[in-house]
């Protein structure tokens, strides 16, 4: 007979493998950015974020972030309201960055390494982009507990 503790452990392992145990940690960690909201999506390594930042500043931050991480650019298609960037690392793993202007003050950022790509790398790239936006002072609004008082 199977003990209940083993059933609970098996259920937790199954849920973790399906949903990913880092989703809540990732979202709360990325939400520490001065503005915006981030999330992981479904299977694979895709991470997405909406930030209160001008599109041009987000594109500049993405290019600088990839340079900081020593990623090699293989595709660069920057248009007025949408930028598609493709990079590879030294292991020839592809990392795609998509940036879209959603409003005059809001930019969508997505980093994707494919369904079997390195999840850690996509999260690192997004965090580096957010860091570059912060370093540039490009956030248009800061969320803080002081404003709500």
List pLDDT tens digits, range 33-46. 555 777 666 667 89
| Alpha-carbon gap, residue 30 to 126, rounded angstroms | 9
Strand order of the β-sheet with 47-51 is 37-40, 47-51, 107-112, 94-101, 82-88, 72-78
Smallest Cα–Cα separation from 106: which of 58, 60, 144, 46?
58
Q: What are phi and psi of 114, to 5 degrees?
A: 85, 175
| Alpha-carbon gap, residue 143 to 2, rounded angstroms | 50
pLDDT digits (tens, 9 = 90+) for 72-128: 999 999 999 999 999 999 999 999 999 999 999 999 999 999 988 888 999 999 999
> pTM for the full model?
0.73
**Is the torsion defined by CA of 116, 129, 29, 35 positive or negative?**
negative
Q: What is the pLDDT of residue 99?
A: 98
Q: Which pair of structure tokens corresponds to residue 76?
A: 């660069």
All structural domains of the chain, each given as residue ranges with its CATH number in brackets, are 21-148 (3.30.160.110)
Whether 11 shows a pLDDT value over 60: the answer reads no
Whether 30 shows a pLDDT value over 60: the answer reads no
Kindly provide the residue ranges of all beta strands, DSSP E only, lying in 41-122, ordered along the sequence. Answer: 47-51, 72-78, 82-88, 94-101, 107-112
For tokens 């202007």, the residue is: 101
């Amino acid at each position: 007979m199977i003990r209940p503790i083993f059933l609970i452990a098996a259920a937790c392992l199954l849920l973790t493998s399906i949903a990913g145990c880092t989703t809540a940690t990732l979202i709360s960690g990325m939400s520490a950015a001065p503005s915006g909201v981030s999330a992981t999506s479904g299977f694979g390594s895709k991470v997405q974020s909406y930030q209160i930042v001008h599109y041009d500043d987000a594109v500049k931050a993405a290019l600088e972030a990839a340079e900081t991480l020593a990623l090699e650019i293989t595709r660069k298609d920057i248009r007025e309201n949408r930028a598609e960037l493709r990079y590879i690392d030294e292991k020839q793993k592809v990392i795609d960055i998509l940036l879209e202007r959603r409003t005059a003050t809001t930019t969508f950022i997505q980093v994707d390494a494919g369904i079997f790509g390195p999840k850690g790398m996509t999260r690192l790239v997004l965090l580096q982009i957010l860091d570059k936006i912060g370093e540039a002072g490009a956030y248009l609004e800061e969320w803080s507990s002081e404003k709500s008082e």
